[in-house]
Structure 1
């Protein structure tokens, strides 16, 4: 384009959406545009670490930065007992509490967003969240919705409900889950609709917290795991990015005290799921007995681990795409970045979900033959060992993963997204 444009990204205050947006932002910057990030204060430093300008937007009552950074960590840790429950059982606790908090973030963001947008003067805004921020829709510039959660966040009557983790064939279960979700969510949704009306927007149907952008909606899900919709989403407004893996720092696999000639595993439950220390310790103990090596992401809880098996190494953080590219199999929580990165690099996964769309991604990995869904707690050592062995030896699964990886890498999701965003900017001139 003849002139540099300003593209603002506003991801949810979680590392999954944040790092997905970084991947697209890197590709936009490569086209010559200026990229800025709107960020919850608790995520300050994440985007500047990749070289991007940051602008804070309070998503809750102002508090010291260290308290803000811990808000969602404490929220998740407080719900660890609920991780043992089924997705249906989580509707009355985790899901309910989550939506209450999310609606609150939308109300708080509206206080500062108009002024922040006036300050940075974006030509295009990309929002990766599960809820509408009216100020973005009303700013007067094109806006794009990014769906970095499971594809069924864009609902349809013939696919499993978002957050349900159900098989595509469980139609009776779908109806039961939808009915209970709407029952639980109604008071929260009524409050959100009141907020929309206050902002001059039309109320949403029960259960809906966000609308499709009239400009473009970008979905991370790759074709091999897409849900079988009887009415496909219109391609002029919905585009599948086939994953969107960011460039991260290179990583050199360290030398282990044992098993350096054995297959390498990577285990991570994300920045929030690392609070489930007892589960990670159990996995370390079991994998310590097996003929493998393993890298464990334990987040900020490094001091909770003492003696480790000789074939296990732990760290607070890894440049995950650089690591997954080099391992033989992955155990993860079903977060959409981990889910897509495994597919992108053709790595079999054992998905042990605990909340949100991890349930849906785990089921899609299993139903499409790209890995296994495994209950987070109800497994035996023999069962885990058997699934790891299958991930490493099943030729049908590995052939499927190889084909999926080749397809995703050929599509170059971040560059694809950047070209689409540039097209929207050209049409807006």
Structure 2
């Protein structure tokens, strides 16, 4: 029997498109997938053929202004991209959590009515904060963790957003202590909101909880952490990424180096505002024996006099591009991170914020690519790392094994099967 499954991703393309991939697989099983959406993202879901219902996550504003909110937020913090994860806590991270807590308060105004209207049988939320109305709706709810798996904490693994190495325990402790110190006033405010909603307070540093029904981690098993407390498979399942289907992409003809290895460069829709870095990369690649496709987002007008081996565009169907390239330079967003692993492509990650720091460290320490600073590098540094990415036998073998593992386990189909069991029976028996 067909059931209604609602998806509520945060207002960013990574979580949004991951949920689209799962929703496509859910509909293939005969269920109805609908989206609860930040108003600025309604058109994204409608573009994939889904019904989408707006939920205000901030003071109402015109959709085009809403869509630019996080872009403007990120661009305002570009000077902080030069700082370490620790030194971003009292600026970018603090401002982010302030905005996220505000979004939860705003959502509570609309969510009860929207849920009553849709009447979903199951709700899937991909966010870093609790929306009390979802927990209180009376139907099973699933948490999707589309960022690094360290969003689900464990004393043995690096704290979320820290970029610490797996075994660098002094880094873990220093980051946790500083985060909790800076975040305390925001956390106290959130606990006050939870109390108003009839919810128990969360311990310091925690803004969400694991679902008692199911938690889906997009993180791939080949890079997962060794935990002190292993996750119960009846409540936690790894999806090995959720690579969505996109329209085919034909690599254009380049004016120069048309027979050379192909690089794809993207810092995501939000990171495209760092035009200074992208211009520097274009100049450097222009001198190397490669070709490059570069995603420049909404900033096409900022670029001129491109080298003949570089082609820019405002958007690329990334899951159709990455299989055709030899290496990727990206910011460490979860989609880019998992898609490179899924297709067996080495990555140079230049992180700037959030879990990009964690993914950059992880790709480096597991041998799937390199972590590089965004600004403190030389042309020779980049050239050497690209050479290794494209030609190193050990890295190629590691990536081939990870890709084979992930492609043998279709993430969206696995998620859809779990959701199907949950929505039919109310629980998941385990694989």
TM-score bracket for this pair, using the shorter chain length: over 0.9
- Counterpart of 2:389 (choices 386, 391, 397) is 391
Alignment of 1:28-427 (within 5 A): 28-427=26-425
**CA distances 1:319-356 after superposition (whole Å, capped 9, x unpaired):** 00000011110000000000000000000000000000
Partners of 1:416 and 1:424 lie apart in 2 by 12
Match of 1:23?
21
Partners of 1:164 and 1:428 lie apart in 2 by 36
Contact map agreement 2:151 2:160 (CA 8 A) in 1: yes
Partners of 2:187 and 2:393 lie apart in 1 by 47
Displacement after TM superposition at 1:230 (Å):
2.4
Partners of 1:291 and 1:60 lie apart in 2 by 47
Displacement after TM superposition at 1:360 (Å):
0.2
SS in 1 for 2:143: strand
Q: CA RMSD in A?
A: 0.7
Partners of 1:316 and 1:39 lie apart in 2 by 23
TM-score (norm 2): 0.98
SS in 2 for 1:169: coil
Q: How many residues align?
A: 427
**Where do 5+ consecutive residues of structure 1 fail to align?**
none
Displacement after TM superposition at 1:191 (Å):
0.3
Contact map agreement 2:134 2:141 (CA 8 A) in 1: yes
Contact map agreement 2:126 2:143 (CA 8 A) in 1: yes
Contact map agreement 2:155 2:228 (CA 8 A) in 1: no
Displacement after TM superposition at 1:428 (Å):
2.9
Contact map agreement 2:132 2:194 (CA 8 A) in 1: yes
Partners of 2:6 and 2:166 lie apart in 1 by 36
Displacement after TM superposition at 1:86 (Å):
0.1
Partners of 2:15 and 2:55 lie apart in 1 by 16
TM-score (norm 1): 0.99
Partners of 1:317 and 1:34 lie apart in 2 by 29
- Displacement over 2 Å in runs of 4+: none
Displacement after TM superposition at 1:69 (Å):
1.0
**CA distances 1:241-264 after superposition (whole Å, capped 9, x unpaired):** 011111111111111111111100
Partners of 1:159 and 1:66 lie apart in 2 by 39
Partners of 1:325 and 1:196 lie apart in 2 by 45
SS in 1 for 2:210: coil
Task: Indicate the larger mover: 41-50 or 403-412.
Answer: 41-50
SS in 2 for 1:194: helix
SS in 2 for 1:406: helix
SS in 2 for 1:46: helix
**CA distances 1:80-116 after superposition (whole Å, capped 9, x unpaired):** 0000000000001000000000000000000000000
